[in-house]
């Protein structure tokens, strides 16, 4: 009996070994003959297989012409994009393997975050090239349609009624004013227009909400993608925004659950997560990230990424902000006090930003990572470092709500200098050139139990 079992084990291991060698051979051949279609290296590991492992490299298509160039784009809807890769387990290239996972542990993310900087940058840059075209960068414009007068006590925000800052409350902008601003942004190269209102929640602001729905419809009708950040939303409000044509909704978590109560007390972390769930359930893309420089520790930065990376769906985009300290806010005053230890308040450099962006890129490979507030304080070379870390979206225009931002002309010059092109509106991101040319090894796993999916 034991001899038969040993023989069966030997045969099974030999079968698996031959299958893997066949997969490797197919991949090797595809690399040595790059213009030849690669056959699938699939092997069944039993007479009644439950799992099929398929490793392959994509076959280079004919040289694209202007007529079929758009075929090399993913679907624009993030849910459609993710559905196309539902059977994908991982991607590998140049010694780096990455996958879209929702079961990251804090320890795993902390290990990545703490890598030597050169190694972290190499891994993140490689992952970025496996999933994205690094030359394509989305340009978004953010407009404050309702400034100041917010009742929240966010300790970094100049728009709170609880802080004495330079910001004076203004009424909600007229619909036509907003559409004119959107037109200027579109003419300057922006393809996503974001509208922000300084209040805790939409609540029962029916008249204001109706105006916002008209703004969303108008901007969408101009051929631009539309994003809003309006505070807390209920499920019905999210549904109506989706119906009006809203592309994405921004609702940042700001920091880790543990550090959050030190920054904000008038809205809970759970409140924010509920709004994100309402937006996601309505079919709107989620834009959700955080701010560096709130006095947090590295463990809090890791904690924020852990929450984002373990959501039921990774956000479509994750903005990474550097605090712009504003006099009159608690964090701004603490930063300006020479006699007070800043304890990390507004003390954010290019390496901090690049480390956060790089870690986000690795743990959320298919998520767009947006270089957001604080960009004005970084040189072109420092910004390039952040793009190399995996950032592929920016906010442009001279204002981000109430803080300064690089002007359109400066960003146009930066794009030309770095060889970047803007992502068109209502068009999915380009397929990664490394996928098109067959440089990426893609592992698909299909099975009844989906234990590897």
Q: What is the pLDDT of residue 17?
A: 47
Q: Are 145 and 448 in contact (CB under 8 A)?
A: no
Higher model confidence: residue 420 or residue 336? 420
Least confident of 165-174, 288-297, 378-387: 165-174
Q: Are 430 and 72 in contact (CB under 8 A)?
A: yes
Q: What is the pLDDT of residues 294-306, one digit of tens each?
A: 999 999 999 999 9
Q: What is the pLDDT of residue 104?
A: 98
Higher model confidence: residue 376 or residue 241? 241
Q: What is the pLDDT of residues 82-122, one digit of tens each?
A: 888 989 999 999 999 999 999 999 999 999 999 999 999 99
386-392: average pLDDT: 97
Q: Are 250 and 285 in contact (CB under 8 A)?
A: no
Gyration radius (Cα) of the chain, Å: 24
Which among 216, 297, 210 is positioned nearest to 249, based on CA atoms?
216
Residue burial 66-102, b: 16+ Cβ < 10 Å; e: rest: eeeeeebbbebebeebbeeeebbbbbbbeebebebee
Q: What is the pLDDT of residue 333?
A: 76
Q: Is the pLDDT of residue 438 over 90?
A: yes
Q: Is the pLDDT of residue 451 over 50?
A: no
Helix (H) / strand (E) containing 185: helix 175-187
User: What's the CA gap between 266 and 264, in Å, rounded?
Assistant: 6
Start-to-end Cα distance in the chain: 36
Written as six digits, the tokens of 69 are 């160039």
Q: Are strands 51-57 and 441-447 parallel, antiparallel or unpaired?
A: antiparallel
**Catalytic residue list:** 150, 154, 157, 194, 227, 287, 370
Note every long-range contact of 234-240, with CB atoms under 8 Å and residues 24 or more positions apart, other chains counting.
234/202, 234/278, 235/278, 235/281, 235/282, 237/202, 237/209, 237/278, 238/278, 238/279, 238/281, 238/282, 238/284, 239/282, 240/209, 240/213
Least confident of 30-39, 178-187, 217-226: 30-39
CA 152, 157, 162 angle in degrees (round to 5)? 50
Mean pLDDT, the chain, whole residue set: 81
Residue burial 229-257, b: 16+ Cβ < 10 Å; e: rest: bbbbbeeebbbbbbebebbbbbbbbbbbb
Best-predicted range by mean pLDDT among 47-61, 216-230, 340-354? 216-230
Q: Is the pLDDT of residue 32 over 70?
A: no
Residues paired with residue 59 on neighbouring β-strands, in sequence order: none
Q: What is the pLDDT of residues 255-280, one digit of tens each?
A: 999 999 999 999 999 999 999 999 99
Alpha carbons within 13 angstroms on the beta-carbon side of residue 106 total: 10
Q: Are 189 and 420 in contact (CB under 8 A)?
A: no
Q: Are 110 and 302 in contact (CB under 8 A)?
A: yes
Q: What is the pLDDT of residue 197?
A: 87
Best-predicted range by mean pLDDT among 9-13, 304-308, 427-431? 304-308
Residues paired with residue 91 on neighbouring β-strands, in sequence order: 98, 442
Residue 193 zone, left/alpha/beta (φ > 0; ψ -120 to 50; rest): beta
Residue 130 zone, left/alpha/beta (φ > 0; ψ -120 to 50; rest): alpha
Higher model confidence: residue 205 or residue 208? 208
Alpha carbons within 13 angstroms on the beta-carbon side of residue 200 total: 13
Q: State the DSSP string of 319-336.
A: EEEE----TTSHHHHHHH
Q: Is the pLDDT of residue 11 over 50?
A: no
Q: What is the pLDDT of residue 53?
A: 59
Q: Is the pLDDT of residue 148 over 60?
A: yes
Q: What is the pLDDT of residue 397?
A: 59
User: What's the CA gap between 242 and 233, in Å, rounded?
Assistant: 12
Strands (E), 67-178: 88-93, 96-98, 136-146
Residues paired with residue 444 on neighbouring β-strands, in sequence order: 54, 88
């Amino acid at each position: 009996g034991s001899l038969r079992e040993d023989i069966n084990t030997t045969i099974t291991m030999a079968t698996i070994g031959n299958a893997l060698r066949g997969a490797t051979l197919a991949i090797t051949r595809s690399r040595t003959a790059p213009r030849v279609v690669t056959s699938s290296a699939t092997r069944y590991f039993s007479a009644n297989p439950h799992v099929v492992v398929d490793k392959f490299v994509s076959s280079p298509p004919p040289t694209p012409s202007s007529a079929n160039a758009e075929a090399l784009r993913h679907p624009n809807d993030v849910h459609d994009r993710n559905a196309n890769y539902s059977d994908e387990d991982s991607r590998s290239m140049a010694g780096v393997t990455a996958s879209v996972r929702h079961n990251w542990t804090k320890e795993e993310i902390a290990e990545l975050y703490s890598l030597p900087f050169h190694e972290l940058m190499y891994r993140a840059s490689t992952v970025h090239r496996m999933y994205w075209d690094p030359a394509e960068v989305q340009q978004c414009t953010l407009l404050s349609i309702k400034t100041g007068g917010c009742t929240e006590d966010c300790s970094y925000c100049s728009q709170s009624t609880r802080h004495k800052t330079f910001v004076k409350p203004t009424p909600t902008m007229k619909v036509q004013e907003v559409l004119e601003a959107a037109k200027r942004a579109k003419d300057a190269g922006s393809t996503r227009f974001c509208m922000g209102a300084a209040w805790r929640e939409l609540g029962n602001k029916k008249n204001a909400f109706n105006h916002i729905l008209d703004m969303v419809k108008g901007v969408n009708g101009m051929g631009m993608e539309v994003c809003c950040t309006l505070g807390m939303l209920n499920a019905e409000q999210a549904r109506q925004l989706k119906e009006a044509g809203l592309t994405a909704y921004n609702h940042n978590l700001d920091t880790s659950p543990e550090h959050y109560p030190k920054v904000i007390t008038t809205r809970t972390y759970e409140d924010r997560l509920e709004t994100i769930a309402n937006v996601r359930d309505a079919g709107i893309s989620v834009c959700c990230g955080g701010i560096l420089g709130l006095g947090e520790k590295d463990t809090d930065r890791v904690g924020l990424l852990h929450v984002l990376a373990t959501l039921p769906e990774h956000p479509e985009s994750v903005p990474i902000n550097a605090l712009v300290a504003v006099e009159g806010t608690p964090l701004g005053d603490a930063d300006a006090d020479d006699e007070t230890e800043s304890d990390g308040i507004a003390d954010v450099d290019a390496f901090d930003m690049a480390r956060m962006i790089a870690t986000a890129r690795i743990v959320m490979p298919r998520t767009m990572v947006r270089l957001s507030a604080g960009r004005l304080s970084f040189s072109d070379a420092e910004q390039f470092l952040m793009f190399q870390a995996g950032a592929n979206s920016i906010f442009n225009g001279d204002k981000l709500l109430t803080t300064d931002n690089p002007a359109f002309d400066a960003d146009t010059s930066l794009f030309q200098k770095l060889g970047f092109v803007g992502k068109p509106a209502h068009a999915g991101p380009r397929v990664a050139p490394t996928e098109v040319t067959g440089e990426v090894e893609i592992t698909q796993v299909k099975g009844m139990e989906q234990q590897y999916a």
